[in-house]
A and B are shown apart, each in its own frame.
Chain A
């Protein structure tokens, strides 16, 4: 399939990814926000563009800003295929505001939207089964056997129509024994919920992750299989899932991360300027 496609303009494409990267807020380690490396973001945008061509896609969390990458590259003609529309749901208001601001700046507001949502809470009713594809790169569940992955997937299933496609990104490294357990549990969970696995792209991404710099992740592409329309029945996550959300005995306590800079409209509080004193 790939051989028939035109080659990518590397300089223009990386510069487009650079537009996205400088727009992202700094990651917060306390909430396991760990960003994908730039070359992998470009390849991921190309992959997602092909997978979800002409679809209405929901991103369940997207600190990496893959949604912006794929839409920005596609609109500029740097990748051939791309989603029709994307919605990003994230519990970090800085992420939500930065997406909105980028969309406004680059003329994407009609096809890119973002809203505040924490997967711990029941899904807003009007989002129920409204999308044709999902993408999620959740906390990897190194200490919980993948229940945090399942929490994000559960919301993705609720957001998607019966004939949906999906892509879940999870850890995938031979040197980390817990990866195999999470991979097996995730595959089982996908199948149990009516999604067939159509492709696994191993070792596809690397991260700015100091305590495990060689940890990679894979793409698991899935296709709905025999799912049916259901009436709304979303519930908040249970206490046990929340307790080990970021690993064994590392609970999710935050509802939202609030943006004190209003998407960059207010100046940073990270620095102050001292006046030049010429005596």
Chain B
């Protein structure tokens, strides 16, 4: 597995990652690598309200895909003690209208949504969130560093049109893992009735 040292991009999706649904992050990564081998893509489960597949992630990726060489998920590794429900998704949908079975070999648990990813690689990149703004949705234009306060831990960010300089270390994030987002970028999930 190669380590990726990416140039600072003009647009990316940011998430904090850690242990989840009873698995350590290393266990999750190992399982996701197997899934990529079997199914050719990874379903990266997540929740919350700031990266809705239809209202945020899909439009954001479509808008930036033409100017970027792919949209990447930047992951900041954190200590997580969250123990969510481990309900397993059985179906996914791009638009909430047509639903399909989760592909054979893919397991996604405890999540309402999933990003569709290529290989997850170790990264080594520092991102200064004062230089970026929210790129989509009602909070479009808000400085990423301000947006990621409180309970918000993910977002779709693009380079700020204004030059911003800040000496604050709080807004600097070390990116430990990187993955390219694949079509259809993000999907809704649901389980058995």
Q: Quick check: B140 and A143 within 8 Å, CB to CB?
A: yes
- Tell me if A142 counts as interface (CB < 8 A to partner B): yes
Residues of B within 8 A of A215 (CB): 138
Q: 1/0 per position for B57-81, CB-CB distance to A under 8 A? A: 0110011000000000000000000
B188 / chain A contacts, CB cutoff of 8 Å: 30
Instruction: Please name the residue on chain B nearest to A253 by beta carbon.
Output: B95
Is the C-beta of A171 less than 8 angstroms from some C-beta in chain B?
Answer: yes
Q: How far is the CA of A209 from the CA of B54 in the complex (A)?
A: 16
Q: Which stretch in A13-21, A53-61, A194-202, A242-250 binds the other chain?
A: A242-250
Partner pick for A176 among B49, B55, B138, CB 8 A cutoff:
B138
Residue of B nearest to A28 (CB): B96
Q: What is the CB-to-nearest-CB distance from B90 to chain A, in angstroms, rounded to a whole number?
A: 15
Neighbour of B59 across the interface among A31, A177, A247, A269, CB < 8 A: A247
The bracket for how many chain B residues form the interface is 20 to 34
Contact B137 A247 (CB under 8 A): yes
Contacting B139 at CB < 8 Å: which of A29, A31, A140, A212?
A212
The chain A residue sitting closest to B193, CB to CB, is: A269
B111 within 8 A of A: no
Smallest beta-carbon distance A240→chain B, Å: 15
Q: How far is the CA of A257 from the CA of B5 in the complex (A)?
A: 46
Which of A30, A142, A248, A253 contacts B138 (CB under 8 A)?
Answer: A142
How many residue pairs link A and B with beta carbons under 8 A? The number is 66
A220 to B141, CA, bound (A): 25
Known: A248-B63, A253-B97, A254-B97. A142 touches B140 (CB 8 A): yes
> B117: CB under 8 A from chain A?
no
Q: What chain A residues lie within 8 Å of B58 (beta carbons)?
A: 249-250
Main secondary structure of the interface of B (DSSP, over half): loop
Q: Report chain A residues within 8 Å CB of B95.
A: 30, 253
How far, in angstroms, from A247 to B52 measured CA to CA in the complex?
13
A33 to B34, CA, bound (A): 38
CB-based contact B138/A212 at 8 Å: yes
Known: A142-B138, A143-B137. A249 touches B62 (CB 8 A): yes
CB pair B138 A250 closer than 8 Å: no
A171 and B136 contact, CB distance less than 8 A: no
Chain A 203-232 per-residue mask, 1 if CB under 8 angstroms from chain B, else 0: 000000111100100000000000000000
B137 and A142: CB pair below 8 A? yes
Chain B residues near A209 (CB, 8 Å)?
138
A211 proximity list for chain B (CB < 8 A): 49-50, 52, 137-139, 152
Residue of A28, A209, A212, A215 ringed by the most chain B CB atoms within 10 A: A212
B48 CB to closest chain A CB, in angstroms? Answer: 8
A176 and B59 within 8 A (CB): no
> Known: A142-B138, A177-B141, A211-B138. Contact between A247 and B193, CB under 8 A?
no
Q: Which residues of chain A are near B63, meaning CB under 8 Å? A: 248-249
Contact with A along B109-153 (1 / 0, CB 8 A): 000000000000000000000000000111111100000000010
Q: List 13 A-B contacts (CB under 8 A).
A: A30-B55, A30-B95, A30-B96, A32-B55, A143-B137, A143-B140, A176-B138, A176-B141, A211-B52, A212-B139, A248-B59, A248-B136, A249-B63
- For residue A178, CB closer than 8 A to chain B, the reply is yes
Are A246 and B55 in contact (CB-based, < 8 A)?
yes
Which residues from chain A contact B142 at a C-beta distance below 8 Å?
A: 175
- Closest A residue to B188 by beta carbon equals A30
Min distance, Cβ B92 to any Cβ of chain A, angstroms: 13
A149 to chain B, nearest CB (A): 14
Of A177, A249, A269, the most chain B CB neighbours within 10 A belong to: A249
Task: Determine the distance from Cα of A246 to Cα of B96 in the docked complex, in whole angstroms.
Answer: 14
Q: Which of B95, B138, B141 gathers the greatest number of chain A CB atoms within 10 Å? A: B138
Q: Do B49 and A250 have beta carbons less than 8 Å apart?
A: no
Q: A28-B96, A29-B55, A210-B49 given; name 11 further pairs at CB < 8 Å.
A: A31-B96, A143-B136, A176-B138, A177-B140, A177-B141, A210-B50, A211-B137, A211-B152, A212-B137, A249-B58, A249-B59
Note all chain A residues with C-beta closer than 8 A to B96.
28, 30-31, 254
